[in-house]
């Protein structure tokens, strides 16, 4: 299919085997998460056309990129943009010339002199706030500025697919959170799909439309942002009923803080299981950021107590407080010691 990146490939290295049989939708942002050495970079390199030793098939946009019949389609013909952990800028050229190199690649693209359609040069410079940096040499840029230039150069080449390999991991923590909106705006401006590898689940959660998890050279799970949750976290669908001076009333309970979301807004509340405390009787001594209402459901197949929150069945570990077994149907209030607001559950 033209709207999918189809991977049926193997790559053997001493002590490591990459074997992937998967179709990735060519729209939005696909996050790739997994432990160090699981093969995330290797997968991106195969997609970029940088691994001649890979066997099998890779196809995208109705073209065969790698396979026994076509061999290895070179990276430039694929029109894939690649942004690495540490921006590989040309250190002898100023920022403007680094960006223009991307434009030259666009003009030299497979369709010949007419060039590829892509965002305008000025729009890229504006989106990434590069105007002030155009005359600077890369050696005089901060890590965050270098990454913005690298992103700009990538967009200038009008890629059809953008590969992001830990683009924020080499910059300090403060610059990282500043760079995320730049990344998001860049992808929106480019209007092309992206595959984003990162160790930071929080970073991926902000950007991902779907998630692939890798382990030991295999894709072991694919799904939505729930795959990026920290160990032992739960997601609750919620809707804002009212935002008042005392906090925000949700259709699943009450937060002791005001959310910057209008009434009617839908979102997910991410809570770690160890942040959930059951309140029964007196509520004294429970420091809570929020309270949600739950009902005890019949136990699940493994005998774990199930709680029903907003019609979602959640397996929760034994909760704090008096330990009598709650009866199915019993109403409970849960106090949340902390939570994080995430976008609503994706449709696919």
Ligand X SMILES: Nc1ncnc2c1ncn2[C@@H]1O[C@H](COP(=O)(O)OP(=O)(O)OP(=O)(O)O)[C@@H](O)[C@H]1O
36 binds ligand X (CB under 6 A): yes
50 binds ligand X (CB under 6 A): no
Per CB under 6 A, the list member of 24, 40, 118, 208 interacting with ligand X is 40
Residue tagged 């795959």 (tokens): 227
User: CB 36: neighbour CB atoms within 10 A?
Assistant: 6
User: CB 213: neighbour CB atoms within 10 A?
Assistant: 19
Nearest distance in Å: CB 180, ligand X: 19
Rounded CA separation 344/174 (Å) = 26
Nearest distance in Å: CB 195, ligand X: 12
Per CB under 6 A, the list member of 1, 3, 12, 16 interacting with ligand X is 16
Residue tagged 């009333």 (tokens): 249
Nearest distance in Å: CB 183, ligand X: 18
Per CB under 6 A, the list member of 19, 41, 247, 289 interacting with ligand X is 41
Nearest distance in Å: CB 202, ligand X: 16
Segment interacting with ligand X, rule: CB under 6 A, options 34-42, 109-117, 131-139, 186-194: 34-42
Picking from 277, 297, 300, the residue whose alpha carbon sits closest to that of residue 287 is 277
Instruction: Write out the binding residues for ligand X, residues 165-194 only, by CB under 6 A.
Output: none
Segment interacting with ligand X, rule: CB under 6 A, options 38-46, 95-103, 127-135, 285-293: 38-46
Residue 75: CA atoms inside 13 Å, Cβ hemisphere, count? 16
Nearest distance in Å: CB 40, ligand X: 4
- Tokens of residue 43, six digits: 């997968």
Crossing angle of the two packed helices 143-156 and 173-190, in degrees rounded to 10: 10
Provide the Cα torsion 308, 312, 317, 318; round to 10°.
-10
Q: Which residues bind ligand X (CB under 6 A)?
A: 13, 16, 34, 36-42
């Amino acid at each position: 299919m033209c709207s999918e990146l189809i991977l049926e490939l193997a790559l053997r290295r001493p002590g490591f085997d990459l074997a992937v049989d998967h179709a990735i939708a060519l729209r939005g942002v696909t996050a790739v998460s997994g432990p160090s050495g699981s093969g995330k970079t290797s997968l991106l390199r195969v997609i970029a056309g940088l691994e001649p030793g890979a066997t099998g098939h890779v196809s995208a946009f109705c073209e065969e990129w790698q396979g026994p019949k076509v061999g290895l389609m070179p990276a430039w013909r694929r029109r894939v943009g690649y942004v690495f952990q540490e921006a590989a800028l040309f250190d002898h050229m100023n920022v403007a010339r680094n960006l223009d190199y991307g434009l030259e690649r666009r003009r030299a693209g497979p369709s010949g002199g007419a060039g590829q359609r892509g965002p305008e040069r000025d729009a890229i410079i504006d989106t990434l706030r590069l105007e002030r940096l155009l005359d600077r040499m890369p050696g005089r840029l901060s890590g965050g500025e270098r990454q913005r230039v690298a992103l700009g150069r990538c967009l200038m080449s009008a890629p059809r697919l953008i590969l992001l390999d830990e683009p924020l991991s080499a910059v300090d923590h403060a610059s990282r959170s500043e760079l995320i909106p730049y990344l998001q705006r860049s992808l929106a401006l480019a209007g092309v799909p992206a595959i984003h590898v990162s160790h930071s689940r929080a970073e991926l959660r902000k950007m991902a439309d779907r998630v692939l998890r890798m382990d030991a050279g295999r894709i072991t799970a694919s799904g939505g942002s729930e795959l990026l949750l920290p160990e032992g976290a739960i997601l609750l669908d919620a809707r804002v009923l009212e935002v008042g001076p005392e906090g925000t009333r949700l259709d699943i309970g009450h937060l002791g803080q005001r959310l910057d979301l209008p009434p009617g807004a839908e979102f997910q509340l991410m809570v770690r299981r160890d942040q959930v405390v059951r309140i029964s009787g007196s509520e004294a001594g429970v420091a809570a950021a929020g309270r949600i209402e739950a009902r005890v459901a019949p136990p699940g197949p493994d005998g774990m107590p199930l709680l029903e929150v907003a019609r979602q069945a959640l397996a929760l570990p034994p909760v704090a407080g008096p330990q009598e077994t709650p009866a199915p149907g019993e109403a409970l209030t849960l106090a949340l010691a902390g939570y994080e607001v995430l976008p609503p559950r994706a449709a696919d």
